[in-house]
Every structure is written in structure tokens, then in C-alpha cells.
Amino acid sequence: MNLTLKNLNKIAVLGTGNVGQAIAKALSSKNYNVTIGTRDVSQTMAKDKPDNMGNLPISIMLKENTNINLSTFQEAIVDADLIVLAVGGSNVFSVLDLAGPIQAETVVIDITNPLDFSKGFPPSLFTDSTESLAEKIQSKYPHIKLVKSLNTMANSIMLTPDVLKDQGSNFICGNDSGAKEIVKELFVTFGWDKTSIIDLGDLSGSRGMEMILPLWIKIFQSILILK
């Protein structure tokens, strides 16, 4: 069955970090049936302290949002109408391996960034300008409908653009036009102006979207230094 906004119900959000938490909370607030996927549920729930970036553990968020489920990646994607990739870029393929076979034609929103922290901060990218991480994912999983979006903005904005006075640009790209249209419609229900959603065409548009991160991180650093 083709995904439409009307038959969209079960959503799997893969990733328990800030991005996964923000997306899950926003989707759940509109009564979607949200399951967050993680590697090991009991290990994830055992974390009760902020990480070294000051981010709160998901166990606290889940206590306040009892309608959001937590399961393994594999369980999360069962019968999911929509999957959201919200893991660190370097974990994408191990996470998809653990999740197992994704149903053909499933729409997958890819929020990941190919950040390489192995040489410290600021990170470099582990991809180059000839093939993005999104293109690598689509190439390995050609039967899914990958839509790249939201990776260029803070998680506090992604599905809550009303916090902004000026929405700026929400870039989107993907090889399947129908999948992109559903995702755009979904964004509009969360408050994105249609004119703020900039369609960059096929998935090659994700190269530039992923390459904005090094600039973003430098701007962020320069603001922190100024403060």
C-alpha cells in the first residue's frame, strides 16, 4: 500500500539521542504510534545521567512521554509505515544491519550526517562530494524510498519550526517524488511553510546538505566563543 498522510500510523524512530527524542516527541504529540529503536533496551534504560554533551538520557524523556515505545531496532521497524533514521552517521549501517530487512517501498527519512569525530572536534566528514551518506544508504538498500531532510538544522527546530521568527530553509531531496511529497505534507502539518521547504531534486542534492555541517559547526563555535 502506498503511504499517505491518512494511513500513516506506526512510525519507527531509530536513535535515542537528542534528534531521535525530539522527533519522537513531536510525532507522538500528533498521536502517531511512535516506537524508538535502540541497540539494547535494558542498557539504554539503565542510563540515568546526561552524556558528556549534557544531553539527557532517554529514560527521563520516556517517563514523561509514556505513549512512546522503546524497543530494539528490529522490533521497531515491524509494520512501520515510516522509518526515521536519527542515529549518528557512523552508526547508520550497523543500525540498519541490526534492524534487518525493511519492507520494500518503505519511506525512510534520513536525518543523519557523515560526521567523523575520530580526529577530535570539530569533526570532518567521512564522505566526499561525489557520494553522500544518503546516496550510500539508498545504493545499499535500493528497495526503500529514502528522503533526506532535517539534517541541516538543530533538533529543536526540526518538527517545531514555530519556535523560529523566520523559518529559513528546510531542504529536502530524494529519488522518489511521491515519497518526498508525503514527507513535505507531514512537515506542513508540523508548521513548516510550503515556501520554506526547498526541494533540491534527486538524492544527489544530499551531498550539499551534508556538507553544510562543517560550516554550521564553525558558526556554532564562533557564537560560543563570542558569548
Q: Cell numbers 524510498 correspond to what residue? A: 145
- Of residues 139-198, which lie at the interface with a second copy (CB under 8 A)? 169, 171, 173, 198
**Residue 59 CB partners (closer than 8 Å, separation 6+):** 44, 45, 46, 47, 48
- 33 is a contact residue toward a second copy (CB under 8 A): no
Instruction: Name which of 96 and 203 has its Cβ closer to a second copy.
Output: 203
Q: Between the CA of residue 214 and those of 15, 71, 199, what are the distances in Å?
A: 22, 33, 22
Total number of residues binding a second copy (CB under 8 A)? 32
| Interaction of residue 204 with a second copy, rule CB under 8 A | yes
Can residue 199 be called a binding residue for a second copy (CB under 8 A)? yes
Among 16, 121, 128, 193, binds a second copy (CB under 8 A): 128
Of positions 55, 212, 224, 227, contacts a second copy by CB under 8 A:
212
Which one of residues 6, 49, 119, 165 is an interface residue with a second copy (CB under 8 A)? 119
Distance between CA atoms of 195 and 180, rounded to whole angstroms?
Answer: 15
Stretch that binds a second copy, among 17-25, 50-58, 68-76, 128-136 (CB under 8 A): 128-136
Q: Per-residue x/- mask for a second copy, residues 97 to 116, rule CB under 8 A?
A: -------------------x
Alpha-carbon span 101 to 216, nearest angstrom: 34
Which one of residues 124, 160, 175, 196 is an interface residue with a second copy (CB under 8 A)? 124
Closer by beta carbon to a second copy, 67 or else 169: 169
Closer CB to a second copy, residue 145 or residue 207?
207
CB atoms within 10 A of CB 22: 22
By the 10 Å C-beta count (0-12 exposed, 13-18 middle, 19+ buried), 39 is classed as middle
* Residue 115 DSSP one-character state: E
Give the Cα separation of 71 and 187 in Å (integer): 25
> Tell me, what amino acid is at 84?
V
Binding region for a second copy (CB under 8 A): 116, 119, 122, 124-125, 128-130, 169, 171, 173, 198-201, 204-205, 207-209, 211-219, 221-222, 225
